[in-house]
Chain A
Amino acid sequence: MDEFKQGIKDGGAIGIGYFSVSFTFGIAAVASGLDWWQALVVSVMNVTSAGQFAGITIMSAAGSYIEMAISQFIINLRYALMSISLSQKVTREFHTPKKMLLGFCVTDEIFAVAMSREGEVSSKYFAGLIVLPILGWHLGTVSGAILGDVLPNNIVSALGLAIYGMFIAIVVPVTKKNRNVLLIVLLAVALSFCLYYLPGLNQISGGFAIIICAVIASAIGAWLFPVKEEAEEEETHE
């Protein structure tokens, strides 16, 4: 039971952060023509930020189902990388049925927090970890869909930073402890700038660009600075 409680505790910050992010999703969903309950259904069935924003854009433009499938595939493909990483860190009792149930809740933040846990990740810990983020995600969606018109525009646009603030809060402490991670993250960021701005390269869609940057930088990292066994769990020893 302790593992479950620890998970809930570790998920609290993500839950509050998700509330603000999905609040903006709720607003956008209603603005694109969905009912509040449809916005909630989108959140319940997806639990992804970028994927959902792309989804409602395609729906409101009456895009084809194929277009929807391809966009979701490209934007969310990074989760496949995360799931492979996570599969290497879970305990033995985290068996297939549990994976099929809980694996759906692999998000950027939940994944990152699970990976930064010392030692292995048990299914109880992971189950606890997803409780508050999911609650926050769904409550935020409904609140945004219903109350969105009440909030002034400048507050809504400032909240757009919340999700990136969370990313920064996850990455920076690790780069502070481990110089190799810092160099590799800076490389990924530099590549990301190139793919965003350089003519030709900026034609690549955002979802693919993220994967390209992460794969190249991580491969170079693995080549230049191979991680010592168990070192992933003990970065403080660096």
Chain B
Amino acid sequence: MNNFWIYMLVMFGVTYLIRVLPFVIFQKKIENKFVRSFLAYIPYTVLGAMTFPAVFYATGSVLTASAGVIVALVLAYRGKGLFEVAIFASLTAFLVALLPF
């Protein structure tokens, strides 16, 4: 391993600038309708692309992960909160992994 603190400085510097610079630079409301719409879709497209298909490999077994995803989708559709959905998805994957096949 190289110097831990230099690694930290690099990670911190890059991550900080990525987050804070755009936040500070864009002071005014963007008027352009296309850009506004684009930005409105960003939260959901980012999360969607981050979740699928990576989620199927999150537990080390596509079967247990898929079971967890189905439970998460159903609970989220019924309006359950973040924590409930996360825990029941994990619990489902855990229980399915215990099944004898």
A-side residues, CB < 8 A to B, are 12-14, 16-17, 20, 33-34, 38, 41-42, 45-46, 48, 51-52, 55, 58-60, 62, 64-65, 68-69, 72-73, 76-88, 96, 99-100, 103-104, 106, 108-109, 111-112, 115-116, 154-155, 157-176, 181, 184-189, 191-193, 196-197, 206, 209-210, 213-214, 217-219, 221-223, 225-227, 231-232
Contacts and interface: CB of A to CB of B under 8 A. Distances in A.
Contact of B14 (A72, A168, A206): A72
A70 B82 CA distance: 32
Interface of B: 1-2, 4, 6-8, 10-16, 18-27, 29-30, 33-55, 58-61, 64-65, 68-69, 72-73, 75-77, 79-91, 93-94, 97-98
Contact of B81 (A68, A78, A169): A169
B48 to A, nearest CB: 4
28 contacts: A13-B82, A17-B83, A38-B4, A60-B1, A62-B1, A72-B14, A76-B15, A79-B18, A81-B42, A83-B23, A87-B22, A104-B20, A157-B61, A158-B91, A161-B65, A161-B68, A163-B58, A165-B72, A165-B86, A168-B51, A168-B76, A168-B89, A184-B45, A185-B48, A214-B45, A223-B34, A225-B37, A231-B40
